[in-house]
Amino acid sequence: MRLAAGQEPAREKWGVGRAVQQQTAAKNGYYIVYLFTIGLFLGILIVNLGYDTWIGEGSLLGTDMILRLKNSIPDGNGLFGYVLKHRMFTVCLLGLLATTMIGLPAVCGYVCYMGLSAGCLLSVAVIRYGIRGLFLMAAGIFPQGILLIPGYAALFLWAVGVNRMLYAHGMGREYYGGYGRQSYLKKGMQMAGIIAVIIVGCILESYVNPKMLQFVLKIF
């Protein structure tokens, strides 16, 4: 069946735009991984350069802290409220900043900060406890990391997409979805999905992770 005049170019244009959107999303994903990796290595470097401060004088993951963790049994309901409040604050903050002109730098800065924090924590754990430190770090993010890591990655990509949709120029704006009710509805549904994933991750972090952590702490 022949397409009416104008339909074929429109379909071709839509296909090109769709392909560009997919390529751009993949590229943004790579950038996020790069930024996190940069922060991770910076964190490792900072701890090693400031060995005396972090290890000699610092109490992070020290004997006293490990002992308190071993002897503490957190209340799941209280922990859930605390964790959920902080996770939702991050989601709301990045979501709001994404609609401003500083949204992109804010997302990049937060990704680097997460990598930096992970690098510092991982370095201190490994320097203090060796292979046991790796087990401790793995227990600290399991099983909630299965949901929170992709959930946060989706949040970062969502924030970048919203920011580019609002502030990209020319065809770039069209490739990110452009303006329109359908675009806003799509972004809203994506955010609802991200929030749902993060909430389930918070449930796992509050009710399952403490038991995993207590099990691993038996080797300390």
Which whole-number Å values give the CA distances from 31 to 25, 36, 112, 151, 168, in the listed order? 10, 9, 11, 17, 17
pTM: predicted TM-score of the whole model, two decimal places: 0.86
Instruction: Determine the residue type at 142.
Output: F
Per-position b or e across 26-46, b if 16+ CB within 10 A of its CB: eebeebbeebbeebbeebbee
The pLDDT of residue 178 is 54
Query: pLDDT of the chain along its 220 residues, tens only?
Result: 454 554 555 444 445 445 656 777 788 899 999 999 999 999 999 999 998 889 888 889 998 999 999 888 888 899 999 999 999 999 999 999 999 999 999 999 999 999 999 999 999 999 999 999 999 999 999 999 999 999 999 999 999 999 988 887 655 555 555 556 788 899 999 999 999 999 999 999 999 999 999 999 988 8
Query: Is 201:67 a contact under the CB 8 Å cutoff?
Result: no
Structure tokens at 173: 């704006």
Instruction: Determine the residue type at 175.
Output: Y
